[in-house]
Every structure is written in C-alpha cells, then in structure tokens.
Amino acid sequence: MWITLCLYLSINCISVVSVVSAGTCRLQGRFKLNGMYQDGDLILGGLFEVHFLTVFPELSFRTEPDPPYCEQFDMASFQQAQTMVFALQEINKNPSLLPNITLGYYLYDNCVKLGVAFRAATALVSGTEESISNLDCTGPPPVIAIVGDPGSTHSIAISSVLGLFRVPMVSYFATCSCLSDRKKYPSFFRTIPSDAFQVRAMMQILRHFGWTWVGLLYSDDDYGIYAAQSFHQEVQLFGGCVGFSEMLPRDNNRRDIKRIVEGIQASTAKVVVVFSTEAYLLPLMDEVTLKNVTGRQWIASEAWATSPVFHTPRLLPVLGGTLGIAIRRGEIQGLHDFLHYLRPDNNPKNNMVRIFWEKMFGCKFETADIEKGEKLCTGQEDLSSTNTAYTDVSELRASYNVYKAVYALAHALHDLMQCEEGRGPFSENTCADITNLQPWQVVHYLQKVMQSVGITWAK
C-alpha cells in the first residue's frame, strides 16, 4: 500500500483524492452544503443564491475550520431553485420528451460567495461517493450538466475549470459580456442576454431624457467591472460625461460605504446608474436611507431592478421612481400550485427545504434549536396562507430563465437519444452511449438547441 495526494481528473470527474490501494481513489473531504436532491437515470446539477450573506469562521490554522455559515434567506432565489425542480418533474411526466428516462437533480446554495460556489460545483462533478474503485472513471458522470451559476464571477471561475472537461453550464442570470468568449468558455451557455445589450438600452434611456451628466456605481465583481467599462465607452460615444464612478466594496466596509454616499450627496450629477447585485447594493441603500439622500434619479441594472428586497416602504422615499432594465418575464402554468405543495422531509440531502420552512414559519425542527418566541415545526404548516416572493408568480423573470435552461438541456438530451447509429456526429459517425454519457457530447447537442431557438451565447 502507498499513500500520496493526486489530482483525479478526467472528462467526467474532478476531485482531490488519495490513492489508498491499487484501483481505488478516495475523496479527501466533504463540504457541508445546503441542497436539494432527487435521484434519476441522469442527474442535472443546479447552483442558486438562496442566502445573501456568508459568515466565515475564524482561521486558527491549528484545526480544520468550521464550514461557512449562510444567513439572510432569499425567498425569490429559493423559488428559482424550486422552478428547476418543477421543470424536471414536468419533463419526467411528458411521454414525448425523454421517454423512459428519468431526470434527477442535485441543487446547491452558493451563498453568493465564490468559495462556496466553487466548492458546490466541484462537489457536483465529483459526486458524493466516499471512494471510487475504477481509476478509468468510466460510466456516466455524477451530473451531466449544471444549471447556473447565477453570478458572472462565479460562472467565470467555474467555467474556466469545467470548460476544460466540456461540462455544460447553462446560466440563467450571469450577464457579463466576457462570458461570450467561446475560446475561454467553450461549454458555457445562458438564457439571459449579455450586458452588451443592457448598456445599449441604458444609453437609449439617457438619450430619451437628455441626461448627459450621470454618476456610476458598480459592484466589485466581474459583472459590475465589465459593465462599468462598457458603460464608460458607450457614454463617451453618446456625448455624455460621468460625474463620479465608484466601486461598491466587496466586504460591505462601513467606512467605504459612508464615503461613497457622501460623494453622491456632494455631486451635481442627479442621475445615478447602478450595475450591481443585491448583496453589494443593500448596505449602500441602507446608508442612503439613513442619510436621507433624495432627489436622485436611480437607473437600475437587471440584477436589482425588480428585486423584491428593494420594494419596501423603508426604501421607497429614496428609490421611488427608479428606472431599470428588467429581464423578460414569462408564465409557467402549474408552478403556483406546485410551490404551495412543497413539504419538508428528513432527508439530509434536502436540508435546504427544511431551512426554508423554518424561515417561512418562524419555527425549528429540532427542539434544541428553539429560541424564545419560536415554536416547533410540524411540517404541516400551510403555505397557502403565506405571501412572500417565494409564492409570487406574477413576475417570473429569473425563474423563467431557469425553466428555459432546464428545457434546453432536456431537448439536447432528447436529440442525443434520437441519434441513429452510423449517422452520428462523433468519431466514425458514432452516437453517444446513454449508459456512458459524457458531458462534451451533451455540449454538441445543446449548442444546436440554443441556435435553433435563437439563443446565441456569443452575444
């Protein structure tokens, strides 16, 4: 027996393992991640921003650190995760789409942190088996595609690695124009337009109202930075000027936020364009409200324009009248009833549902966790009596993009299964083997599906 550390990489496996005996690889560790799971013949992975904030433990470098703690549950993002579940169940019931094949899922919460998102992605493609007795890594991979990640920075990092192995990712919210580079991200797709279109739309708004003196705020991530660069270029061509340009701090630093708000107050630019996700913007808007900064015309990017977290009486005095770019909305028949049908179970792989239940009803499943004023969850509480972003299906935007992403993958798999041997697209006119399906084969068919419905990833 010999022991060493090795990187176990193949077309369908990514995992840090230890070779403990001939022909066996073993996972070196497990990540504690919030998720949802359902078995199937083929498994799709999913990454969702179910929590806004992440608290990382203190690092002593003497013991293994505790896993990061995710807090501030986002009902709208949980609806997006449940929309993926709904789409898969709908497909499994459809006798004309993927007949005799059941699609399962493994969904993780990325907590809006790159470290958590990357861990989740590697957990999806590595699988959860403690050991692998086949060093050739034959057979179908743990997941054959991933729906997500919603963040541009996360998608860039994850696609940079998974793209080496042609694992398809279909994001429903990552808009950075940089992701259109097919050489860098050969297996990345999305069901949302890139920021190149959004910036042009904002220029049309500025032209329409004759606003030529504007301020710019953007998040400290690839989404914000690339959009800001594009905005600066376009506003110069338009003949406008940027009165101030500030990057929102990554760590929500109170001193930086106060400085930015003071700059907004002092500037003569009364129109403020903001490219940011909710997590970066919320602390700033808290300070804007505290300082009562009114008289500004806010222009919102699609990442926060329709977010329910900003539609509150507290923020209305400063954000009332905001103009924004909204993601195209759609309707999904049957989703409303499905969302109300959800019930928690005891499966640890479905702990995300239990977390949602506790947040929704202000209760705890474990008596040891009950604090003053809380009650014990029964699992039979009535969701129909609630009114939150989770059950609101009147404005399905990101959720509709999730729905489209799942169906795009389903149609790609369906087309793959219709292949006639001897007339296939692969080496020597072969077809993919559904019992040994490889992600790069899914990419081939997914590309055709996207083109056929007019979703061009390169824009």
- Express each pLDDT in 352-409 by its tens digit: 999 999 999 999 998 887 887 789 999 999 999 999 999 999 999 999 999 999 999 9
pLDDT of res. 18: 44
With DSSP H G I counted as helix, E B as strand and the rest as coil, what are the percentages for the chain, rounded to 5?
40, 20, 40
pLDDT of res. 59: 80
pLDDT-based confidence at residue 457 (cuts at 50, 70, 90):
very low
Of 61-75, 193-207, 231-245, the range with the lowest mean pLDDT is 61-75
Q: What is the mean pLDDT of residues 161-186?
A: 95
Instruction: Judge whether residue 55 has pLDDT over 90.
Output: no
Domain(s) of CATH 3.40.50.2300: residues in the chain: 33-192+333-452, 195-324
Q: What is the mean pLDDT of residues 199-204?
A: 95
- State the DSSP string of 170-210: EESS---GGGG-TTT-TTEEESS--HHHHHHHHHHHHHHHT
pLDDT of res. 9: 31
Instruction: Judge whether residue 3 has pLDDT over 70.
Output: no
Q: N- to C-terminal Cα distance for the chain?
A: 53
Asked if residues 121 and 47 have their Cβ atoms less than 8 Å apart, the reply is yes
pLDDT of res. 131: 55
In angstroms, the Cα distances linking 207 to 47, 202, 222, 239 are: 38, 9, 26, 10
pLDDT of res. 365: 92
* Rg, C-alpha atoms of the chain: 23
pLDDT of res. 367: 82
Q: What is the mean pLDDT of residues 181-205?
A: 95
CATH superfamily of 195-324: Response regulator (3.40.50.2300)
Instruction: Judge whether residue 198 has pLDDT over 60.
Output: yes
Share of the chain above pLDDT 70, in %: 89
Q: What is the mean pLDDT of residues 193-213?
A: 95
pLDDT digits (tens, 9 = 90+) for 97-108: 999 999 999 999
pLDDT-based confidence at residue 10 (cuts at 50, 70, 90):
very low
* CA 197 to the chain's CA centroid: 20
pLDDT-based confidence at residue 447 (cuts at 50, 70, 90):
very high
pLDDT of res. 53: 73
Token representation of residue 454: 């007019």
Asked if residues 145 and 272 have their Cβ atoms less than 8 Å apart, the reply is no
State the sign of the Cα–Cα–Cα–Cα dihedral 255, 256, 261, 267.
Answer: positive
Please name the residue ranges forming H helices in 331-431: 335-341, 351-361, 398-417
Q: What is the mean pLDDT of residues 72-94?
A: 97
Instruction: Judge whether residue 438 has pLDDT over 80.
Output: yes
260: number of Cβ within 10 Å: 19
Instruction: Judge whether residue 431 has pLDDT over 80.
Output: yes
Which one is predicted more confidently, 407 or 55? Answer: 407
pLDDT of res. 455: 63
State the sign of the Cα–Cα–Cα–Cα dihedral 107, 127, 173, 260.
Answer: positive
Share of the chain above pLDDT 90, in %: 75
Q: What is the mean pLDDT of the chain?
A: 89
Look up residue 223 and give its amino acid: Y
Instruction: Judge whether residue 248 has pLDDT over 90.
Output: yes
Instruction: Judge whether residue 263 has pLDDT over 50.
Output: yes
pLDDT of res. 13: 35
Instruction: Return the CATH class of domain 33-192+333-452.
Output: alpha beta
Asked if residues 260 and 284 have their Cβ atoms less than 8 Å apart, the reply is yes
pLDDT of res. 71: 86
Instruction: Judge whether residue 23 has pLDDT over 70.
Output: no
pLDDT-based confidence at residue 28 (cuts at 50, 70, 90):
low
Instruction: Judge whether residue 27 has pLDDT over 80.
Output: no
